[in-house]
Each structure stands twice: as C-alpha cells, then as structure tokens.
C-alpha cells in the first residue's frame, strides 16, 4: 500500500455532513430574537418599477426597525440603500438592546430569484456570525433560507494544521414573521434539507483529486448510505470487466486507481415492487486529463470537478428519506479517472458497452458519455426504471451555448422534461430545453462499430452527445441534464459558489418530491 501524501492525511476518511446552518426557527417580533443575535437583516424593496435602484423598507422591515426604535423612512433616507437584489448596506446600532447592526439588503421586485440573491448576499456578509435574524417579508421564506444557506458556504482548505471545513461556525437562522403572518416551518426545513444536499455535492466537487479517486468516492457513498438508510452495491474493476462494462473499463484503464460503479437504492416506507422507480445516473470522472487526447494545461485545472454529476446524484439520494420522497429512487455513480499512461484507451479503439453495443472511439476526451452509457444500459436491462435521468458535466458545447447560469436539458418525454423545468424554475436552478435533432443521428455512424462516440465536423456537440446517450435508453422515459456550464463557477455570484456549485441537486429533489 503506497504511503498517503501529507495533504491526504489531513482529510478524514469520509466527508462530514457539512451543514452551514444547524437550525432554523421563526420569531414573531425582533425583541423575541436570541440575545446572542448580533445581526438583523431586513429587506429593501424597489420604490417603483421605474426606479429599481431606489429602495424603500418593506412592511416586514419597517415593523422590525420600528421595534428597535428606528424610523424606517429615516434610515432609508440617511443610508440610501439600493433595492437592487443582493446589494447590502450596513447600519451600526447603539443602544438597541438586541442587535449590534442592521443589514439593509436589496430584494428587487421580491421575486423568488431576487430573494435568493438577497439571502446569498447576507449569507456571505455574515459568514462569521453564529446567530442571524432575517426579515424580508412574507411569502418567500423558503427562497430566503436557500439564499442564506448557499451564500454562507465557503470551500474547504487543506492547511498544515488540518483541513478547514467549509461550514465555518455553526449557524442559527431566525426568520422574523409578524403576528398575523404565517410561516410554514416544515417548508423552511425542507428548503434547508435540499440546500444541505447542494452543500454535500459542493464539498465532494472541490476535494482535490490526489485525495478523491473512485475508491474514495465509494467510501463517501457508503457513508451516505449508512446515514440515510440506503442499500449499496459496488462493482470493482474485475467485476466491471467480467460483466461487460466496457466504457468504464476503457476510460479507467489508464489510471492507477481503477474504475468503480456504485448503486444506491432508496425505498420509501411501505414500498412494493409496484412502487414507481426512478433511476438517476451520475457521471463520476474524478479527474479528467483528456486521456491521450490530452487537454491543454489551463483546461485541466478545473477537472477535479468532472465528477459533479455523481456528486449531485449521491447528495440527492442522501436527502430522499429526510424529505419523505414517495417513489423508489436508485442512484448509479459511474466512477473513473481518465489518465494518460501505457494502458490508456486510444482514438480508433472499438469497445463494447454494457449490453453489447460496440463503439468506435473518436476522442478520448469525450469519456463521460462512455461511462454514462454503461450505467444507463445496465439500468434499462436490470432495474425496470419508470423514468431515467442522467446528470453530467458533459460538454463544453453546452457551456458555450448557455454560459454559466443555466444548464441544458434534453429528453424523450415531454412530461419528464416539463416536470424538471418546473422544478428548476422553483428552485432557481434553471434549465433550457435543447433539441434531439434527427438529422444529426447519422453523424454518429461508424464503418467499424455500431456507433461512433463523437460526431466530428458536425458541430452541436451537446446535441450529438445527448443523441449518443439516447441510443442506450430504449423505451424508458429519459432526461439528460448537462450541467457543464453552471456546475462550476469562477466567482461567488448569487446562490452559486466559486468552484463546484452542486447545481441540479435542489431541482432534482424538488422534482422527486412531486413524484408519486
């Protein structure tokens, strides 16, 4: 057994739960807030549609400030806060008896997206604060919790004195509601559970690849399974080869850390064989050099996050029981490292995917679709899914088409795609439907195999990648989420975090919650 590197020794064998908010409560009045709450964040809305930058205190903010002996109109006049969603103005307090400062945060027009952006700004500004009270007004408390939670997150660091966890200090958030305003505490808790899934996916994504390999991901999957009451099955490299998972074997063949396939199963209480089963498949390339078609140096730096599809699927499975999802859910993590070595697979190789379809390799840097195809074909042949959804940082073409704020979605079922579009809209993780263009299918033909796995010279790389995957789906209703754009971020922006964003976890959970 090789000696573990210094940085590897700094990390526990499994990730902690990594929650950035420990609990959420509601209070009816600012004076009821905990004595240890140093910050009150209040929403500032647009004065009118024509002047979005000019802010006025909303009803909730005015009531909270009034309790502190402050006149909302005077505070706004003195400090001129902007109503632009996510803008912040800090007002120090003396003698209020409860809070040390008030943060005036712009909530724009008060839409869900505006509230999330505002909450994220507060979360980032107050990362070192243990107890926070927020008063943004009624109706969007779930979005507020999502914003504060996701904005509070910071990436871990591995230092000489030990790893610095991304959660920072434990946090307690109190949502201020007026006497006559009802806040759904259950809905707030469900929002927090979905955000915790995103945090798990982020933590997995930013872990360095000298620590994170397929075997390490298996360890994380087993830990999530123990915590969440899931069953787990793992295929090692010998079992993958024996059972015909040619895509995983080829892609992982160049690495010193062999490929793995993980199956996680969630069943709700009282489930039977007749209970609907949804299968989620996640691309899990723990590092992607591009293989023999090697990436340029700058293009390789972010490739520790090329397993975000599997991170999202694992995080979603871990949250199903807490959210009481009513359908059976199976997660398949297709794990491999795409490395350069004497045993790497080559352009022009012909491999056999699970189920027997042969594929001519056109470019070893298009490896994600090969591992996904194995897992999809296995699911169709063995699991009898009612719906199948795959998640992957699959193509640069999707990122070029939709940039960093929106993911691509393809699918064979209008019902499934529309359901996921709605879930994305409700959670702020938006998708744009892309076409499965019939005319492009011919471009995947091969003279020496059943399929060519790329379509050189055609363009539309996100489309042809989706068409390749569709060839393994059969008649199962299917959707493909290409999160290559918003799955990674270069900056903290809104609810997205620099590095791995965990994009798609909350949308998938919201969609699963609506399935029967």
Q: Does residue 7 register a pLDDT over 90?
A: no
The strand pair at 488-489 and 499-500 is best described as antiparallel
Average the pLDDT over 235-249 and give the result.
99
Range name among 36-45, 224-233, 277-286 with the lowest pLDDT average: 36-45
What was the pLDDT predicted at 10? Answer: 38
Range name among 56-60, 108-112, 283-287, 312-316 with the lowest pLDDT average: 56-60
What was the pLDDT predicted at 17? Answer: 45
Query: What's the pLDDT tens digit per position in 52-80?
Result: 566 777 766 777 777 777 788 888 888 88
What was the pLDDT predicted at 11? Answer: 41
DSSP state, 12? -
DSSP state, 474? T
What was the pLDDT predicted at 26? Answer: 61
Domains of the chain: 9-183 (3.40.220.10), 239-513 (3.40.630.10)
Q: What percent of the chain has pLDDT over 90?
A: 65
Residues 72 and 94: beta-carbon distance below 8 Å: no
CA–CA dist 493, 83 (Å, integer): 17
CA–CA dist 271, 386 (Å, integer): 15
Q: Does residue 166 register a pLDDT over 60?
A: no
pLDDT class of 253 with cuts at 50, 70, 90: very high
What was the pLDDT predicted at 314? Answer: 98
Q: Does residue 6 register a pLDDT over 50?
A: no
Range name among 5-19, 25-39, 147-161, 320-334 with the lowest pLDDT average: 5-19
What was the pLDDT predicted at 1? Answer: 34
What is the DSSP track for 100-131?
Answer: SEEEEEE-TT--HHHHHHHHHHHHHHTTT-SE
Element (H, E) at 202: helix 185-206
Phi (first) and psi of residue 133, to 5 degrees:
-115, 130
Query: What's the pLDDT tens digit per position in 420-431?
Result: 999 999 999 999
Sequence-distant (6+) residues with CB within 8 A of 92 are: 100, 101
What is the DSSP track for 440-451?
Answer: GGGGG--SSSSE
Query: What's the pLDDT tens digit per position in 114-152?
Result: 999 999 999 898 887 877 888 776 567 889 889 998 998
Phi (first) and psi of residue 273, to 5 degrees:
-65, -20
Q: Does residue 180 register a pLDDT over 50?
A: no
Average the pLDDT over 247-255 and give the result.
99
Average the pLDDT over 13-23 and give the result.
52
CA within 13 Å, CB half, 437: 15
Burial class (CB in 10 A: 0-12, 13-18, 19+), 164: middle
Average the pLDDT over 454-481 and give the result.
97
Range name among 125-134, 139-148, 176-185, 469-478 with the lowest pLDDT average: 176-185
Q: Which residues are catalytic?
A: 295, 369
What was the pLDDT predicted at 138? Answer: 55
What does pLDDT average to over the chain? 88
Residues 256 and 307: beta-carbon distance below 8 Å: no
What was the pLDDT predicted at 46? Answer: 79
Q: Does residue 207 register a pLDDT over 90?
A: yes
Residues 262 and 332: beta-carbon distance below 8 Å: yes
Q: Does residue 369 register a pLDDT over 90?
A: yes
Residues 199 and 153: beta-carbon distance below 8 Å: yes
CA–CA dist 244, 384 (Å, integer): 19
Phi (first) and psi of residue 421, to 5 degrees:
-60, -45
SS3 call for 435: coil
Q: Does residue 220 register a pLDDT over 50?
A: yes
Length reported for the chain: 516
Specify which of 5-19, 122-136, 183-197, 222-236 reaches the highest per-range mean pLDDT. 222-236
Range name among 102-111, 328-337, 479-488 with the lowest pLDDT average: 102-111
Q: Tokens at residue 98, please?
A: 């409860």
CA–CA dist 56, 81 (Å, integer): 8
What was the pLDDT predicted at 100? Answer: 79
Between 24 and 105, whose confidence is greater? 105
- Torsion sign (Cα): 288, 289, 293, 297: positive
What was the pLDDT predicted at 74? Answer: 86
Q: What percent of the chain has pLDDT over 70?
A: 86
CA–CA dist 482, 515 (Å, integer): 22
């Amino acid at each position: 057994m090789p000696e573990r590197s210094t940085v590897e020794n700094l990390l526990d064998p499994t990730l902690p739960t990594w929650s950035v908010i420990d609990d959420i409560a509601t209070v009816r009045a600012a004076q009821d807030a905990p004595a240890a709450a140093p910050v009150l964040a209040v929403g500032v809305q647009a004065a009118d549609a024509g002047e979005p930058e000019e802010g006025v205190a909303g009803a909730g903010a005015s009531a909270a400030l009034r309790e502190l002996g402050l006149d909302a109109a005077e505070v706004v006049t003195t400090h001129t806060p902007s109503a632009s969603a996510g803008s912040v103005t800090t007002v120090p307090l003396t003698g209020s008896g409860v809070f040390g400062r008030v943060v005036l945060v712009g909530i724009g027009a008060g839409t869900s997206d505006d509230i999330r952006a505002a909450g994220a700004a507060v979360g980032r500004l107050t990362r070192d604060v243990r107890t926070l009270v927020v008063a943004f007004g009624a109706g969007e408390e779930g979005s507020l919790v999502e914003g504060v939670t996701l904005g509070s997150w910071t990436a871990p660091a591995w230092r000489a004195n030990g790893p610095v966890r991304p959660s920072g200090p434990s946090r307690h958030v109190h949502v201020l509601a007026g006497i006559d305003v009802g806040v759904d505490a259950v809905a707030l808790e469900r929002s927090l559970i979905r955000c915790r899934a995103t945090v798990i996916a982020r933590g997995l994504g930013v872990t360095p690849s000298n620590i994170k390999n397929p075997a390490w991901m298996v360890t994380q999957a087993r830990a999530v399974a123990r915590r969440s009451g899931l069953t787990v099955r793992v295929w090692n490299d010998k079992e993958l080869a024996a059972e015909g998972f040619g895509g995983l074997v080829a892609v992982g063949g160049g690495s010193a850390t062999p490929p793995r396939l993980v199956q996680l199963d969630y069943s709700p209480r009282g489930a039977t064989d007749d209970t609907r089963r949804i299968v989620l498949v996640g691309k899990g390339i723990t590092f992607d050099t591009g293989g023999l078609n090697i990436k340029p140096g700058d293009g390789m730096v972010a490739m520790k996050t090329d397993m975000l599809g599997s991170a999202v699927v694992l995080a979603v499975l871990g949250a199903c029981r807490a959210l009481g999802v009513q359908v059976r859910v199976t997660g398949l993590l297709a794990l491999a490292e795409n490395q350069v070595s004497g045993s790497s697979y080559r352009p022009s190789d012909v491999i056999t995917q699970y189920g027997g379809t042969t594929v001519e390799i056109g470019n070893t840097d298009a490896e994600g679709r090969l591992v996904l195809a194995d897992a999809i074909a296995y699911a169709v042949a063995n699991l009898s899914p009612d719906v199948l959804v795959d998640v992957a940082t699959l193509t640069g073409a999707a990122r070029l088409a939709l940039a960093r704020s929106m993911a691509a979605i393809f699918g064979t079922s209008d019902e499934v795609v529309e359901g996921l579009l709605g879930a994305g809209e409700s959670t702020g993780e938006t998708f744009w439907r892309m076409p499965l263009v019939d005319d492009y299918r011919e471009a995947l033909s091969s003279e020496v195999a059943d399929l060519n796995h790329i379509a050189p010279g055609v363009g539309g790389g996100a489309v042809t990648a989706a068409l390749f995957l569709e060839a393994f789906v059969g008649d199962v209703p299917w959707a493909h989420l290409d999160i290559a754009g918003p799955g990674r971020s270069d900056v903290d922006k809104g609810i997205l975090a620099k590095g791995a964003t965990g994009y798609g976890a909350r949308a998938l959970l919201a969609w699963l919650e609506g399935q029967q």
